[in-house]
Amino acid sequence: MAEKQSSSVARKSLGLFLMTIMLFVLSWLFVLRWTCPPPRSLDRKSFFRSSNGVSRTILVNNGKQSDGGGREEEPPKREQGFQDKDGALTCNGIVKEPLKIFMYDLDPEFHFGLLNWKPQGGRVWPDIRTQIPLYPGGLNLQHSIEYWLTLDLLASEISDNPNNRVAIRVQNSSEADLIFVPFFSSLSYNRFSKVNPHQKKSRNKVLQAKLVKFVTAQKEWKISGGRDHIILAHHPNSMLDARMQLWPAIFILADFGRYPLNVANVEKDVIAPYRHMVKSYVNDTSDFDSRKTLLFFQGSIYRKDGGFARQELFYLLKDEKDVHFSFGSLKNDGVNKAGQGMHSSKFCLNIAGDTPSSNRLFDAIASHCVPVIISDDIELPYEGVLDYSEFCVFVRTSDAVKEKYLINLIRSINKKEWTQMWEKLKEVEPLFEYQYPAKDGDAVQMIWQSLARKVPSVKMKINKSRRFSNTVVPQKDGGLRSIPAPKNFW
Protein backbone atom coordinates (compact mmCIF):
# COMPACT_ATOMS: atom_id res chain seq x y z
CA MET A 1 0.00 0.00 0.00
CA ALA A 2 2.71 2.39 1.02
CA GLU A 3 4.71 1.38 -2.05
CA LYS A 4 1.74 1.97 -4.32
CA GLN A 5 1.23 5.37 -2.80
CA SER A 6 4.83 6.43 -3.19
CA SER A 7 4.96 5.27 -6.80
CA SER A 8 1.88 7.29 -7.60
CA VAL A 9 3.49 10.25 -5.85
CA ALA A 10 6.58 9.67 -8.00
CA ARG A 11 4.48 9.56 -11.16
CA LYS A 12 2.67 12.68 -10.13
CA SER A 13 5.87 14.56 -9.46
CA LEU A 14 7.35 13.36 -12.75
CA GLY A 15 4.27 14.78 -14.48
CA LEU A 16 4.67 18.00 -12.58
CA PHE A 17 8.32 18.14 -13.54
CA LEU A 18 7.59 17.66 -17.23
CA MET A 19 4.88 20.27 -17.10
CA THR A 20 7.24 22.75 -15.48
CA ILE A 21 9.80 22.15 -18.21
CA MET A 22 7.16 22.65 -20.86
CA LEU A 23 5.94 25.87 -19.29
CA PHE A 24 9.52 27.07 -19.07
CA VAL A 25 10.13 26.40 -22.75
CA LEU A 26 6.87 28.05 -23.70
CA SER A 27 7.63 31.10 -21.63
CA TRP A 28 11.01 31.39 -23.33
CA LEU A 29 9.43 31.29 -26.73
CA PHE A 30 7.16 34.08 -25.59
CA VAL A 31 10.04 36.13 -24.21
CA LEU A 32 12.05 35.67 -27.39
CA ARG A 33 9.17 36.91 -29.46
CA TRP A 34 8.49 40.04 -27.50
CA THR A 35 11.93 41.17 -26.56
CA CYS A 36 13.27 41.27 -30.02
CA PRO A 37 12.36 44.62 -31.59
CA PRO A 38 15.73 46.25 -32.18
CA PRO A 39 16.50 49.51 -30.44
CA ARG A 40 17.05 51.65 -33.51
CA SER A 41 13.85 51.17 -35.40
CA LEU A 42 11.82 48.67 -37.23
CA ASP A 43 13.89 48.40 -40.33
CA ARG A 44 12.17 49.93 -43.33
CA LYS A 45 13.14 47.01 -45.50
CA SER A 46 11.61 44.56 -43.09
CA PHE A 47 8.06 45.50 -44.00
CA PHE A 48 6.37 43.59 -46.72
CA ARG A 49 3.21 44.15 -48.62
CA SER A 50 1.65 41.06 -50.07
CA SER A 51 0.34 40.96 -53.61
CA ASN A 52 -3.33 41.29 -52.75
CA GLY A 53 -2.55 44.58 -51.05
CA VAL A 54 -3.31 43.31 -47.57
CA SER A 55 -0.39 43.53 -45.26
CA ARG A 56 0.31 40.38 -43.33
CA THR A 57 2.91 38.89 -41.12
CA ILE A 58 5.47 37.13 -43.20
CA LEU A 59 7.80 34.49 -41.91
CA VAL A 60 11.17 34.81 -43.50
CA ASN A 61 13.39 31.81 -43.46
CA ASN A 62 16.83 31.82 -45.01
CA GLY A 63 15.76 34.22 -47.70
CA LYS A 64 12.56 32.37 -48.56
CA GLN A 65 9.34 34.03 -47.69
CA SER A 66 6.38 32.07 -46.54
CA ASP A 67 3.12 33.59 -45.58
CA GLY A 68 2.56 33.35 -41.87
CA GLY A 69 -1.15 33.47 -42.59
CA GLY A 70 -2.00 36.26 -40.23
CA ARG A 71 -0.67 38.22 -37.36
CA GLU A 72 1.91 36.68 -35.05
CA GLU A 73 0.83 33.13 -35.66
CA GLU A 74 3.32 30.45 -34.64
CA PRO A 75 6.58 31.38 -33.01
CA PRO A 76 9.06 30.75 -35.80
CA LYS A 77 12.10 28.57 -35.36
CA ARG A 78 14.77 30.60 -33.74
CA GLU A 79 17.61 31.03 -36.15
CA GLN A 80 20.01 33.76 -35.29
CA GLY A 81 20.72 36.50 -37.76
CA PHE A 82 18.90 35.31 -40.82
CA GLN A 83 18.23 37.89 -43.44
CA ASP A 84 15.72 38.65 -46.10
CA LYS A 85 16.51 39.28 -49.75
CA ASP A 86 17.57 42.86 -49.18
CA GLY A 87 19.86 41.76 -46.42
CA ALA A 88 17.62 43.27 -43.75
CA LEU A 89 17.72 41.50 -40.44
CA THR A 90 14.30 40.48 -39.32
CA CYS A 91 13.17 40.02 -35.79
CA ASN A 92 13.32 36.27 -35.16
CA GLY A 93 12.09 35.85 -38.68
CA ILE A 94 8.89 37.78 -38.05
CA VAL A 95 8.49 40.74 -40.33
CA LYS A 96 6.40 43.24 -38.42
CA GLU A 97 3.42 44.97 -39.85
CA PRO A 98 2.48 48.51 -38.81
CA LEU A 99 0.72 49.14 -35.53
CA LYS A 100 -2.90 49.86 -36.37
CA ILE A 101 -4.41 52.78 -34.54
CA PHE A 102 -7.94 54.05 -34.47
CA MET A 103 -8.16 57.76 -33.62
CA TYR A 104 -11.33 59.34 -32.30
CA ASP A 105 -12.54 62.28 -34.36
CA LEU A 106 -12.67 64.50 -31.29
CA ASP A 107 -13.98 68.01 -31.70
CA PRO A 108 -11.12 70.36 -32.71
CA GLU A 109 -11.44 72.18 -29.37
CA PHE A 110 -9.49 69.22 -27.92
CA HIS A 111 -6.57 69.38 -30.35
CA PHE A 112 -5.79 71.73 -33.23
CA GLY A 113 -8.42 74.19 -32.02
CA LEU A 114 -6.12 74.77 -29.03
CA LEU A 115 -3.54 75.97 -31.56
CA ASN A 116 -6.03 78.54 -32.87
CA TRP A 117 -6.78 76.47 -35.94
CA LYS A 118 -10.26 77.35 -37.18
CA PRO A 119 -12.03 74.37 -38.69
CA GLN A 120 -13.94 75.07 -41.88
CA GLY A 121 -16.89 73.23 -43.33
CA GLY A 122 -17.26 70.86 -40.41
CA ARG A 123 -13.76 69.47 -40.75
CA VAL A 124 -12.27 67.83 -37.70
CA TRP A 125 -8.67 67.72 -38.89
CA PRO A 126 -6.55 70.21 -40.80
CA ASP A 127 -5.53 69.20 -44.29
CA ILE A 128 -1.86 68.72 -43.53
CA ARG A 129 -0.95 68.68 -47.21
CA THR A 130 -1.70 72.37 -47.37
CA GLN A 131 -1.39 73.69 -43.83
CA ILE A 132 0.12 72.46 -40.59
CA PRO A 133 -0.99 74.52 -37.59
CA LEU A 134 2.01 75.49 -35.49
CA TYR A 135 2.48 74.43 -31.89
CA PRO A 136 3.42 77.36 -29.64
CA GLY A 137 7.14 77.69 -29.02
CA GLY A 138 9.07 78.20 -25.82
CA LEU A 139 8.70 75.90 -22.86
CA ASN A 140 5.40 74.55 -24.19
CA LEU A 141 7.40 72.52 -26.67
CA GLN A 142 8.90 70.31 -23.95
CA HIS A 143 5.63 68.40 -23.73
CA SER A 144 4.60 68.60 -27.38
CA ILE A 145 4.46 64.80 -27.95
CA GLU A 146 0.69 65.11 -28.41
CA TYR A 147 1.26 67.24 -31.50
CA TRP A 148 3.90 65.05 -33.15
CA LEU A 149 2.04 61.78 -32.59
CA THR A 150 -1.23 63.17 -33.90
CA LEU A 151 0.46 64.64 -36.98
CA ASP A 152 2.14 61.31 -37.66
CA LEU A 153 -1.20 59.50 -37.60
CA LEU A 154 -2.73 62.05 -39.98
CA ALA A 155 0.32 61.72 -42.22
CA SER A 156 -0.10 57.95 -42.39
CA GLU A 157 -3.33 58.49 -44.31
CA ILE A 158 -1.72 60.46 -47.10
CA SER A 159 1.38 58.32 -47.22
CA ASP A 160 2.34 56.66 -50.51
CA ASN A 161 3.60 53.66 -48.67
CA PRO A 162 1.64 53.15 -45.45
CA ASN A 163 3.12 49.74 -44.78
CA ASN A 164 6.54 51.28 -44.44
CA ARG A 165 5.33 53.11 -41.38
CA VAL A 166 5.57 52.08 -37.75
CA ALA A 167 1.98 53.13 -37.06
CA ILE A 168 -0.98 53.77 -39.31
CA ARG A 169 -4.40 55.18 -38.69
CA VAL A 170 -7.29 52.84 -39.44
CA GLN A 171 -10.89 53.98 -39.77
CA ASN A 172 -12.49 50.83 -38.41
CA SER A 173 -11.86 50.44 -34.69
CA SER A 174 -12.44 46.71 -34.76
CA GLU A 175 -9.33 46.36 -36.92
CA ALA A 176 -7.22 48.49 -34.57
CA ASP A 177 -4.56 47.32 -32.14
CA LEU A 178 -4.95 50.46 -30.04
CA ILE A 179 -7.28 53.45 -29.76
CA PHE A 180 -5.78 56.94 -29.71
CA VAL A 181 -7.39 59.83 -27.82
CA PRO A 182 -6.13 63.02 -29.48
CA PHE A 183 -6.43 65.53 -26.64
CA PHE A 184 -3.54 68.03 -26.44
CA SER A 185 -3.64 67.86 -22.67
CA SER A 186 -0.25 69.42 -21.93
CA LEU A 187 -1.04 72.48 -24.00
CA SER A 188 -4.47 72.64 -22.41
CA TYR A 189 -2.80 72.66 -19.00
CA ASN A 190 -0.11 75.17 -19.97
CA ARG A 191 -2.47 77.64 -21.60
CA PHE A 192 -5.90 77.22 -20.11
CA SER A 193 -5.51 76.37 -16.43
CA LYS A 194 -6.37 79.84 -15.19
CA VAL A 195 -9.93 80.55 -14.17
CA ASN A 196 -10.98 83.77 -15.88
CA PRO A 197 -13.28 86.17 -14.00
CA HIS A 198 -16.38 85.20 -15.96
CA GLN A 199 -15.73 81.46 -15.62
CA LYS A 200 -16.56 79.01 -12.88
CA LYS A 201 -13.99 76.49 -14.03
CA SER A 202 -10.88 76.73 -16.16
CA ARG A 203 -11.12 75.63 -19.78
CA ASN A 204 -8.62 72.90 -18.96
CA LYS A 205 -10.99 71.43 -16.38
CA VAL A 206 -14.02 71.76 -18.62
CA LEU A 207 -12.26 69.98 -21.47
CA GLN A 208 -11.18 67.13 -19.22
CA ALA A 209 -14.70 66.61 -17.93
CA LYS A 210 -16.05 66.63 -21.48
CA LEU A 211 -13.37 64.21 -22.60
CA VAL A 212 -14.13 61.70 -19.86
CA LYS A 213 -17.81 61.86 -20.66
CA PHE A 214 -17.20 61.35 -24.37
CA VAL A 215 -14.57 58.63 -24.19
CA THR A 216 -16.21 56.45 -21.57
CA ALA A 217 -19.44 56.50 -23.59
CA GLN A 218 -17.80 55.10 -26.73
CA LYS A 219 -18.33 51.48 -27.72
CA GLU A 220 -14.55 51.08 -28.08
CA TRP A 221 -14.07 52.00 -24.43
CA LYS A 222 -16.87 49.71 -23.32
CA ILE A 223 -15.49 46.73 -25.19
CA SER A 224 -12.04 47.00 -23.65
CA GLY A 225 -12.78 48.81 -20.40
CA GLY A 226 -10.36 51.39 -21.79
CA ARG A 227 -7.33 49.12 -21.62
CA ASP A 228 -6.39 49.60 -25.27
CA HIS A 229 -6.80 53.38 -25.22
CA ILE A 230 -3.81 55.72 -25.46
CA ILE A 231 -4.07 58.86 -23.34
CA LEU A 232 -1.49 61.63 -23.63
CA ALA A 233 -0.55 63.32 -20.38
CA HIS A 234 3.07 64.30 -20.75
CA HIS A 235 3.06 67.41 -18.58
CA PRO A 236 3.10 66.13 -14.98
CA ASN A 237 0.10 68.35 -14.18
CA SER A 238 -1.93 67.60 -17.27
CA MET A 239 -5.09 65.47 -17.01
CA LEU A 240 -5.12 66.08 -13.28
CA ASP A 241 -8.85 65.39 -13.04
CA ALA A 242 -9.34 62.93 -15.89
CA ARG A 243 -6.45 60.63 -14.96
CA MET A 244 -8.41 59.18 -12.04
CA GLN A 245 -11.22 58.18 -14.38
CA LEU A 246 -9.27 57.12 -17.45
CA TRP A 247 -6.55 55.14 -15.65
CA PRO A 248 -7.27 51.73 -17.20
CA ALA A 249 -5.85 53.24 -20.41
CA ILE A 250 -2.21 53.41 -21.44
CA PHE A 251 -0.84 56.81 -20.43
CA ILE A 252 2.07 58.46 -22.20
CA LEU A 253 3.91 60.34 -19.49
CA ALA A 254 7.13 62.11 -18.59
CA ASP A 255 7.36 60.24 -15.28
CA PHE A 256 5.24 58.66 -12.55
CA GLY A 257 6.08 61.26 -9.90
CA ARG A 258 2.58 62.57 -9.37
CA TYR A 259 0.64 59.36 -9.93
CA PRO A 260 -0.49 56.70 -7.47
CA LEU A 261 0.99 53.32 -8.41
CA ASN A 262 -2.34 51.80 -9.42
CA VAL A 263 -3.14 54.71 -11.74
CA ALA A 264 0.16 54.74 -13.62
CA ASN A 265 3.07 52.34 -13.63
CA VAL A 266 5.80 51.01 -15.83
CA GLU A 267 3.89 47.82 -16.75
CA LYS A 268 0.95 49.62 -18.21
CA ASP A 269 2.23 52.98 -19.39
CA VAL A 270 4.84 54.49 -21.68
CA ILE A 271 7.48 57.05 -20.76
CA ALA A 272 8.24 59.51 -23.54
CA PRO A 273 11.16 61.92 -23.74
CA TYR A 274 10.75 65.66 -23.34
CA ARG A 275 11.44 67.59 -26.48
CA HIS A 276 14.81 69.16 -25.79
CA MET A 277 15.02 72.94 -25.58
CA VAL A 278 18.66 73.54 -26.48
CA LYS A 279 19.69 73.24 -30.11
CA SER A 280 20.94 69.88 -31.33
CA TYR A 281 24.70 69.77 -31.62
CA VAL A 282 25.03 69.24 -35.38
CA ASN A 283 28.51 68.29 -36.63
CA ASP A 284 29.92 67.94 -33.13
CA THR A 285 33.70 67.95 -33.56
CA SER A 286 34.42 68.58 -29.90
CA ASP A 287 36.38 66.15 -27.77
CA PHE A 288 37.35 65.46 -24.17
CA ASP A 289 39.98 68.19 -24.14
CA SER A 290 38.05 70.85 -26.00
CA ARG A 291 35.13 70.60 -23.59
CA LYS A 292 36.70 72.71 -20.85
CA THR A 293 34.02 72.52 -18.19
CA LEU A 294 34.06 69.26 -16.26
CA LEU A 295 30.56 69.36 -14.82
CA PHE A 296 27.67 71.61 -15.75
CA PHE A 297 24.39 72.33 -14.02
CA GLN A 298 21.68 74.79 -14.89
CA GLY A 299 18.48 75.18 -12.94
CA SER A 300 17.13 76.54 -9.72
CA ILE A 301 18.64 75.21 -6.52
CA TYR A 302 15.64 75.55 -4.33
CA ARG A 303 12.91 73.14 -5.25
CA LYS A 304 10.10 71.68 -3.25
CA ASP A 305 9.62 67.94 -2.70
CA GLY A 306 12.45 65.71 -3.91
CA GLY A 307 14.72 68.63 -4.74
CA PHE A 308 16.67 68.78 -1.49
CA ALA A 309 19.68 67.13 -3.12
CA ARG A 310 20.19 70.17 -5.32
CA GLN A 311 21.01 72.39 -2.41
CA GLU A 312 23.31 69.82 -0.83
CA LEU A 313 25.17 69.31 -4.08
CA PHE A 314 25.52 73.02 -4.64
CA TYR A 315 27.40 73.40 -1.36
CA LEU A 316 29.53 70.34 -2.05
CA LEU A 317 30.51 71.39 -5.56
CA LYS A 318 30.52 75.17 -5.62
CA ASP A 319 34.23 75.54 -4.92
CA GLU A 320 35.43 72.70 -7.14
CA LYS A 321 37.56 73.57 -10.13
CA ASP A 322 35.89 73.37 -13.57
CA VAL A 323 32.44 72.91 -12.13
CA HIS A 324 29.75 75.26 -13.40
CA PHE A 325 26.53 75.81 -11.50
CA SER A 326 24.22 78.31 -13.09
CA PHE A 327 20.92 79.31 -11.69
CA GLY A 328 17.83 80.56 -13.28
CA SER A 329 15.22 79.34 -15.63
CA LEU A 330 15.41 78.56 -19.30
CA LYS A 331 13.41 81.64 -20.23
CA ASN A 332 14.64 84.42 -22.49
CA ASP A 333 18.27 83.90 -23.31
CA GLY A 334 18.63 81.07 -20.81
CA VAL A 335 18.20 78.34 -23.40
CA ASN A 336 21.00 79.61 -25.62
CA LYS A 337 23.35 80.08 -22.69
CA ALA A 338 22.54 76.62 -21.36
CA GLY A 339 23.13 75.18 -24.81
CA GLN A 340 26.54 76.80 -25.09
CA GLY A 341 27.41 75.62 -21.59
CA MET A 342 26.38 72.03 -22.31
CA HIS A 343 28.22 71.97 -25.64
CA SER A 344 31.43 72.87 -23.86
CA SER A 345 31.09 70.54 -20.87
CA LYS A 346 32.09 66.90 -20.44
CA PHE A 347 29.38 65.99 -17.94
CA CYS A 348 25.94 67.46 -17.27
CA LEU A 349 24.19 67.05 -13.94
CA ASN A 350 20.56 65.96 -13.75
CA ILE A 351 19.22 66.24 -10.24
CA ALA A 352 15.67 65.34 -9.30
CA GLY A 353 13.57 68.47 -9.16
CA ASP A 354 10.02 68.57 -8.00
CA THR A 355 9.40 65.63 -10.33
CA PRO A 356 11.82 62.74 -10.95
CA SER A 357 12.22 63.64 -14.64
CA SER A 358 13.26 66.86 -16.23
CA ASN A 359 13.93 68.31 -19.59
CA ARG A 360 17.59 68.79 -18.67
CA LEU A 361 18.44 65.14 -19.38
CA PHE A 362 17.26 65.51 -22.97
CA ASP A 363 19.09 68.81 -23.35
CA ALA A 364 22.25 67.02 -22.21
CA ILE A 365 21.72 64.21 -24.71
CA ALA A 366 21.12 66.70 -27.54
CA SER A 367 24.37 68.43 -26.52
CA HIS A 368 26.32 65.16 -26.28
CA CYS A 369 27.20 66.10 -22.71
CA VAL A 370 27.38 62.87 -20.69
CA PRO A 371 24.44 62.97 -18.26
CA VAL A 372 25.13 62.36 -14.58
CA ILE A 373 21.76 61.32 -13.20
CA ILE A 374 20.96 61.80 -9.53
CA SER A 375 17.31 60.89 -9.34
CA ASP A 376 16.54 57.59 -7.68
CA ASP A 377 12.99 57.31 -9.01
CA ILE A 378 13.59 58.41 -12.57
CA GLU A 379 11.97 56.37 -15.32
CA LEU A 380 13.58 56.56 -18.72
CA PRO A 381 12.07 56.33 -22.20
CA TYR A 382 12.42 53.04 -24.10
CA GLU A 383 14.53 51.49 -21.34
CA GLY A 384 13.33 48.07 -22.50
CA VAL A 385 15.47 48.43 -25.62
CA LEU A 386 18.08 50.97 -24.55
CA ASP A 387 20.85 50.57 -21.97
CA TYR A 388 21.36 54.02 -20.50
CA SER A 389 24.43 52.93 -18.54
CA GLU A 390 26.31 53.01 -21.85
CA PHE A 391 26.01 56.78 -22.07
CA CYS A 392 24.90 58.03 -18.65
CA VAL A 393 26.44 57.95 -15.18
CA PHE A 394 23.96 57.06 -12.44
CA VAL A 395 24.62 58.06 -8.84
CA ARG A 396 22.36 57.27 -5.90
CA THR A 397 21.24 60.38 -4.05
CA SER A 398 22.50 58.99 -0.75
CA ASP A 399 25.99 58.61 -2.28
CA ALA A 400 25.97 61.87 -4.18
CA VAL A 401 25.54 63.93 -1.03
CA LYS A 402 28.62 62.38 0.63
CA GLU A 403 31.63 64.68 0.86
CA LYS A 404 33.78 64.41 -2.32
CA TYR A 405 31.98 61.30 -3.57
CA LEU A 406 30.54 62.75 -6.76
CA ILE A 407 33.48 64.87 -7.79
CA ASN A 408 35.95 62.01 -7.24
CA LEU A 409 33.78 59.68 -9.26
CA ILE A 410 33.57 62.08 -12.16
CA ARG A 411 37.28 62.92 -12.12
CA SER A 412 38.03 59.19 -12.20
CA ILE A 413 36.37 58.75 -15.60
CA ASN A 414 39.21 58.96 -18.11
CA LYS A 415 39.35 60.28 -21.64
CA LYS A 416 38.85 56.88 -23.24
CA GLU A 417 35.81 56.01 -21.12
CA TRP A 418 34.29 59.43 -21.64
CA THR A 419 34.85 59.26 -25.41
CA GLN A 420 33.03 55.92 -25.58
CA MET A 421 30.02 57.43 -23.85
CA TRP A 422 30.15 60.51 -26.08
CA GLU A 423 30.22 58.33 -29.22
CA LYS A 424 27.22 56.43 -27.91
CA LEU A 425 25.40 59.69 -27.17
CA LYS A 426 25.84 60.80 -30.75
CA GLU A 427 24.45 57.46 -31.87
CA VAL A 428 21.35 57.50 -29.67
CA GLU A 429 20.56 61.21 -29.96
CA PRO A 430 18.19 60.76 -32.95
CA LEU A 431 15.97 58.49 -30.82
CA PHE A 432 15.00 61.58 -28.83
CA GLU A 433 14.19 63.93 -31.72
CA TYR A 434 10.61 64.92 -32.40
CA GLN A 435 9.89 66.16 -35.88
CA TYR A 436 7.40 66.24 -38.69
CA PRO A 437 7.58 64.31 -40.89
CA ALA A 438 8.90 61.64 -38.55
CA LYS A 439 12.16 59.97 -39.50
CA ASP A 440 13.31 56.41 -39.07
CA GLY A 441 14.07 55.69 -35.45
CA ASP A 442 13.10 59.10 -34.07
CA ALA A 443 11.11 59.75 -30.90
CA VAL A 444 7.74 59.47 -32.63
CA GLN A 445 8.58 56.05 -34.03
CA MET A 446 10.19 54.89 -30.80
CA ILE A 447 7.01 55.76 -28.90
CA TRP A 448 4.86 53.83 -31.38
CA GLN A 449 7.19 50.88 -30.94
CA SER A 450 6.95 51.10 -27.15
CA LEU A 451 3.18 51.04 -27.56
CA ALA A 452 3.36 48.09 -29.96
CA ARG A 453 5.19 46.11 -27.28
CA LYS A 454 2.23 46.68 -24.93
CA VAL A 455 -0.29 45.21 -27.34
CA PRO A 456 0.02 41.50 -26.39
CA SER A 457 -0.46 42.21 -22.68
CA VAL A 458 -3.35 44.58 -23.38
CA LYS A 459 -5.07 41.90 -25.44
CA MET A 460 -4.51 39.36 -22.72
CA LYS A 461 -5.97 41.67 -20.09
CA ILE A 462 -9.02 42.29 -22.25
CA ASN A 463 -9.53 38.56 -22.72
CA LYS A 464 -9.09 37.91 -19.01
CA SER A 465 -11.63 40.58 -18.19
CA ARG A 466 -14.20 38.61 -20.17
CA ARG A 467 -13.93 35.54 -17.95
CA PHE A 468 -16.92 36.34 -15.84
CA SER A 469 -18.84 38.47 -18.24
CA ASN A 470 -19.18 35.99 -21.10
CA THR A 471 -19.06 37.89 -24.32
CA VAL A 472 -19.95 41.43 -25.15
CA VAL A 473 -23.69 41.57 -25.61
CA PRO A 474 -25.12 43.94 -28.19
CA GLN A 475 -28.01 45.88 -26.71
CA LYS A 476 -31.30 46.73 -28.32
CA ASP A 477 -30.24 50.34 -28.74
CA GLY A 478 -27.26 49.20 -30.82
CA GLY A 479 -24.79 49.79 -27.97
CA LEU A 480 -22.73 47.18 -26.22
CA ARG A 481 -22.79 46.07 -22.64
CA SER A 482 -19.94 47.55 -20.69
CA ILE A 483 -17.25 45.43 -19.06
CA PRO A 484 -16.01 47.40 -16.09
CA ALA A 485 -12.38 47.12 -15.04
CA PRO A 486 -11.80 45.09 -11.89
CA LYS A 487 -10.84 47.29 -8.96
CA ASN A 488 -7.21 46.35 -8.56
CA PHE A 489 -6.36 45.51 -12.11
CA TRP A 490 -3.51 46.70 -14.25
Ligand X SMILES: *[C@@H]1O[C@H](CO)[C@@H](O)[C@H](O)[C@H]1NC(C)=O
Binding site for ligand X (CB under 6 A): 172, 174-175, 282-283, 456, 459-460, 463
Give the DSSP per-residue string, 11-78.
Answer: HHHHHHHHHHHHHHHHHHHHHHHHS-S-SS---GGG----TTS----EEEETTEEEE--SSS-SPPP-
Nearer Cβ to ligand X (283/414): 283
Nearer residue to ligand X within complex by CB, 72 or 107: 72
Question: Which conformational region is residue 69 in: left (phi greater than 0), alpha (psi within -120 to 50 degrees), or beta?
Answer: left
Nearer to ligand X, 175 or 403 (CB): 175
Q: Nearest approach, Cβ of 228 to ligand X (angstroms)?
A: 12
Among 450, 38, 33, CA closest to 269: 450
326 within 8 A of 297, measured Cβ to Cβ = yes
φ/ψ of 65, rounded to 5, equals -105, 135
Quick one: CA dihedral 482, 486, 487, 490, positive or negative?
Answer: negative
Of residues 113 and 456, the one with the C-beta less far from ligand X? 456
Sign, CA torsion 434/360/429/446: negative
User: Among residues 266 and 460, whose Cβ is nearest to ligand X?
Assistant: 460
Asked if residues 47 and 164 have their Cβ atoms less than 8 Å apart, the reply is yes
In angstroms, what is the minimal distance from the CB of 116 to ligand X? 31
Q: Shortest gap between Cβ of 280 and ligand X (angstroms)?
A: 9
* Burial degree of 350 (CB within 10 A; 0-12, 13-18, 19+): buried
Nearer to ligand X, 173 or 188 (CB): 173
Nearer to ligand X, 177 or 269 (CB): 177
- Nearest approach, Cβ of 220 to ligand X (angstroms)? 12
Please check whether residue 184 is in contact with residue 146, taking contact to mean a CB–CB distance below 8 angstroms: yes
The span from the CA of 146 to the CA of 187, in Å, is: 9
Least gap, CB of 481 to ligand X (angstroms): 16
CB of 459 to ligand X, least distance (A): 4
Q: How far is the CB of 426 from ligand X (least distance, A)?
A: 13
Residue closer to ligand X (CB basis): 416 or 467: 467
For residue 427, give the H/E element and its range.
helix 415-428
What are the distances in angstroms from CA 359 to CA 272, 305, 442?
Answer: 11, 17, 17
Strand, helix or coil for residue 297: strand
Nearer to ligand X, 220 or 363 (CB): 220
Backbone angles phi, psi at 480, to 5 degrees: -125, 150
Phi-psi region of 38 (alpha: psi -120 to 50; beta: other; left: phi over 0): beta
Least distance to ligand X from the beta carbon of 458, Å? 8
156 neighbors 167 (Cβ within 8 angstroms): yes
